[in-house]
Homo-oligomer: A and B are copies of this chain.
Amino acid sequence: MSSTFPTIGILGGGQLGKMMAAEAVRMSVDARLLSPKEAGPMQPYTGARVGDWTDPDVLRPFTADCDVVTVESEWAPADAAAEVLPDGAALWPSTQTLSLIKDKGVQKQHLADAGCPVPAFACCETLDEALDAAEEFGYPVVLKQYRGAYDGYGNATAAAEDELREAWPDLATEDGAMVETFADFARELAVQVARRPGGNQVVYPVAYTEQRDHRCHAVEVPADIDDAIADKARHIAQKSVDAVEGVGLIAVELFEMPDGRVLVNELAPRPHNTGHYSIEGAATSQFENHVRAVLDWPLGDPSLRTPVAVMVNVLGRREGTPPQTTGLPRALDTEGVTPHIYGKPDVRPGRKMGHVTALGADRADTRKRAEMAASAIEL
């Protein structure tokens, strides 16, 4: 334990860890980050450590002075950290919450059992079971890998039996894979929920998220949807986070269906790309509320402090190292935008290199400025 301000250990050193550390550092909370990668977004912080984060001999000194340990990703080795955690230190989200989330089959079953609306799904051990489930749901279906999927990797949409047969060997592991009905949604939405160990929580506004090529391209907040749908989305998000007893910031990705139903797509047990708008757009950012929640400190107001906030990702366009920064000054020439560049040492097409947030009164104008700035950066 620190003698003055608390120490928070973050398993992960990417952009999410960097943005958590920024909020911690502002409040004089000592942030340390552990990553197996030599270089990355965490580098500007003195607390950055490089090491095999599954090794108890690395984790023991890393967690030694921590008041709380948290994760940047559901795939961080929280179980290993839990085993060497010093007396009195907490690990949030709990390993129990993480185990309910990181396997997509377990997650969906758990949410369904808790009464949270989800698309029809089946956990299938064999291809035959998958074919039967698809037959029952009707094509198209989505075949999902249980663990490790992100940004479209690990998922395949099958329009017919032969496509499902073809996708199965790539995505099925020894326990099989999940078949889910293809949600022909009206919109994809997301809601951030920050929750303290005792269950006290705050719920962010509903975000509209726009995907391109299976990656988050833009997020507009508040989503331009009926109030009743927004209320339902926030209620379902809260119920889902309660169901997994999430502590910290938990992001809930949702489908708004054409018939007005709202279904849970999936949870992320950490700050999420769909909540980056909150750094400038909300009274308290998702990263600050994550830090507050895992320290069991009072949560901050999640409401928007602007009529509209729009976030657009800056995705890599090339292969190599990020180029000279002529693009960033050009982006700064766009009114009312705040750029975040993560500091990744290598760029590849589609990689999330940064994002920009624009605030404004008019949705279309705000979106336009965010797009212009993100596109000017050209990494």
Residues of A at the B interface (CB closer than 8 Å) are 3-6, 18, 21-22, 25-28, 30-31, 43-48, 283-284, 292, 295, 297-298, 300-301, 305-306, 321-325, 328-329, 332-333, 335-336, 338-343, 354, 359
Neighbouring B residues of A46 by C-beta, 8 Å: 43-46, 48
A332 with B5: in contact, given A283-B359, A340-B27 (CB under 8 Å)? no
Q: Which chain B residues border A329 with CB–CB below 8 Å?
A: 295, 297-298
B322–A5 touching, CB < 8 Å:
yes
Q: Which of A283, A301, A354 has the most CB atoms of chain B within a 10 A radius of its CB?
A: A283
Residues of B contacting A306 with CB < 8 Å?
Answer: 305
Which secondary structure dominates chain A's binding surface?
A: loop
Is B322's CB under 8 angstroms from A4's CB?
A: yes
Other A-B contacts than A5-B322, A5-B341, 6 sampled, CB-CB below 8 A, are A4-B324, A5-B343, A27-B328, A46-B46, A298-B329, A301-B336
| A297 surroundings in chain B (CB, below 8 A) | 328-329, 332
Q: Which of A4, A5, A323 has the most CB of B within 10 A?
A: A4
Give the distance to chain B from A88, nearest Cβ to Cβ, in Å: 14
Contact B325 A4 (CB under 8 A): yes
Between A6, A292, A343, the greatest number of chain B beta carbons within 10 A of the residue's beta carbon is seen for A343
List the B residue with the shortest CB-CB distance to A284. B338
A314 to B297, CA, bound (A): 19
Q: How far is the CA of A4 from the CA of B339 in the complex (A)?
A: 16
Given contacts A26-B22, A341-B28, A359-B305, contact A325 B44 (CB under 8 A): no
In the complex, which residues of chain B have a beta carbon less than 8 angstroms from the beta carbon of A324?
A: 3-4
